[in-house]
């Protein structure tokens, strides 16, 4: 029993270290509301793509209150107000699926430890 707890704790520490290193390499944000992605940081610029609430985006540039994002399809600009810079969507770093597991979110997915 003690070995399982120590093993689980070790995995958790490595998972946190791996996700912390990846997160420091680039800045990401979550889309708070559906928004049009513009070709340039202006309201009148052509719309080149769309982002949707809950989507994770990579921040690649900033210009005033506009943020350039890297997304599938054409990259472009959105107003910074449509983004949430929390490390996890809805500010929930420890999602629990109700069966005794603890899950750790990371840049490329998540890992769960428990039952």
* Residue pLDDT, tens place only, 4-62: 555 655 655 555 555 444 444 468 888 989 999 999 999 999 999 999 988 889 999 99
For residues 28 and 12, what is the distance between their CA atoms, to the nearest angstrom? Answer: 22
Q: Are 58 and 69 in contact (CB under 8 A)?
A: yes
For residues 4 and 83, what is the distance between their CA atoms, to the nearest angstrom? Answer: 40
Helix (H), strand (E) at residue 106: strand 102-106
Residue 15 tokens read as: 């998972």
Residue 35 CB neighbours (<10 A): 20
Range with the poorest average pLDDT among 25-34, 48-57, 71-80, 105-114:
105-114
Instruction: Name which residue leads in pLDDT, 73 or 94.
Output: 73
């Amino acid at each position: 029993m003690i070995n399982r707890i120590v093993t689980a704790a070790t995995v958790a520490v490595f998972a946190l270290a791996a996700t912390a290193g990846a997160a420091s390499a680039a800045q990401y944000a979550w889309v708070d509301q559906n928004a049009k992605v513009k070709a340039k940081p202006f309201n009148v610029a052509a719309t080149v793509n769309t982002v949707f609430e809950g989507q994770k985006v990579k921040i690649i540039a900033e210009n005033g209150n506009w943020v350039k994002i890297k997304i599938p399809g054409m990259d472009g600009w959105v107003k910074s107000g449509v983004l949430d810079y929390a490390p996890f969507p809805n500010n929930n770093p420890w999602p629990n699926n109700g069966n005794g597991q603890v899950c750790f979110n990371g840049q490329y997915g998540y890992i769960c430890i428990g039952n």
